[in-house]
Structure 1
């Protein structure tokens, strides 16, 4: 006869589990295996994050340089360092105190944080801006056909140091634009679309031996700017590069280069534009940028504007 209590006792004794020493050995062995795997996975995730940051920075820099290129190709005059470093009341005048930040605009009112780099006039296409009719007849009132036109605009690109929590701790590129209005063809004293606040058309009849002399005498209208200096791209490198890389016939703006500077030839309406991003700043704040690093990508382009103006 089977002794059931004895059988149960034997079964229980054979399945009493691991001893404390066996558990400790198992934990140590598991740690030796899992720890390298965890470090490996963390390294993979960190590398993936860095590569994503670099890819995003590369893409944004290329989009920005393409946007600036398209914008600058319409330029009829580009201000060099002489025009941007001098005030209008200087013996050698400039427009420094006529544009933001010295003439404040929303988003750019501090000279220490907002530096003009590219400032130019362009002739901008305005589709279907006004009616073809030149009278107040019934036919004209019911006529919905509109004509295209062109207006002149003053455009400025800035290197802006971040001063708020909505942007990174690096710098960003911002854009400012004011347009002339569209005049009513039936009455040249009226506008179908008014000019922006502060806009004043440049005057080529002012004194000056060259076109540059005349354009450097431009002054804004006697009213405050209301158009904002709007951010175009963030995570621009702020490390300083004192080396002058510009050709002899151009002027570097600003004088000390960082992640956004230009080499401007006002006479020939050309500009070399240089951008350098900081992908590491997307991952951690206050990250410095090694200019030789792949995580500090650069893009450059040389652009020829329209250059339609003459000093007469």
Structure 2
């Protein structure tokens, strides 16, 4: 009895191709999903680490403050692009829509023979011996990207999906003097000729019920123990089409979106009257 080998019929081939396409489609979706999850996890880890570093850095600088500008203080940081307030206008301490933290940082312990300003030339001689004006504030990410050169080390990279997020910026200016700043001249210090540098990316902009980025509690006059600065950080980024937040958000209520750290300055009372 003879046997005959049969080939696949057209219907069998079509069914096999359809099944193969289904398996391939499912596998590709799984691969894309895994890749997206890995990207989001990496973004979350990076944001958490960078946010914690920024919090600790600001807190360390606040602890060295000799004076913290109180709520209601208007500050002129100049008209440069790195100091542009979200929404425009002047910086005002205590404004929740465009918060700013500003203080006078005390110098490091250095010998009198190594002063801030050279006694003859009047030029900066030793930065560690200088009192410093320090400020932290947000700038809209899209504004910064559109106005700062892409060749600059201070350029965060284009990211149109996150253009409405904030950059947290640090602004510093040495107070060029070999004598103590006085409480009387704090309001007329020339601090408007510096520029800001990015400290942290993807900061959550102000929304109703969100804790302010900075809050200052200070009596007047400021005395040791009666000044405290609180930082309320929240980060938000779209990565691979999904929202990544730091810290994790337990509810839709913005009041639950922040990570908080407080610091008390330890050099309050060292400035001259």
TM-score (norm 2): 0.68
Equivalent position to 1:264, from 217, 223, 241: 217
Provide the rounded CA distance (Å) in 2 between the counterparts of 1:171 and 1:128. Answer: 41
Provide the rounded CA distance (Å) in 2 between the counterparts of 1:27 and 1:309. Answer: 81
> Do residues 227 (structure 1) and 202 (structure 2) align?
no
Q: 1:53 to 1:109 in 2, by over 3 A?
A: closer
CA offset at residue 26 of structure 1?
A: 0.6
TM-score (norm 1): 0.60
> Do residues 242 (structure 1) and 209 (structure 2) align?
yes
Q: 1:262 to 1:40 in 2, by over 3 A?
A: same
> Which residue is equivalent to 2:166?
171
SS in 2 for 1:281: strand
Provide the rounded CA distance (Å) in 1 between the counterparts of 2:59 and 2:113. Answer: 29
Aligned pair count reads 228
Provide the rounded CA distance (Å) in 2 between the counterparts of 1:24 and 1:303. Answer: 70
Indicate the RMSD between aligned Cα atoms, in angstroms: 3.8
> Which residue is equivalent to 2:95?
none
> Do residues 160 (structure 1) and 155 (structure 2) align?
no
> Do residues 120 (structure 1) and 103 (structure 2) align?
yes
> Which residue is equivalent to 2:76?
99
Equivalent position to 1:150, from 121, 125, 129: 129
Provide the rounded CA distance (Å) in 2 between the counterparts of 1:123 and 1:105. Answer: 26
Query: Unpaired runs of 5+ in structure 2?
Result: 92-97, 116-124, 146-156
CA offset at residue 63 of structure 1?
A: 0.6
Equivalent position to 1:292, from 247, 250, 267: 250
CA offset at residue 14 of structure 1?
A: 4.5
SS in 1 for 2:102: strand
SS in 2 for 1:81: coil
Query: Unpaired runs of 5+ in structure 1?
Result: 1-9, 84-95, 133-145, 189-200, 207-213, 246-256
> Which residue is equivalent to 1:273?
231
> Which residue is equivalent to 1:198?
none
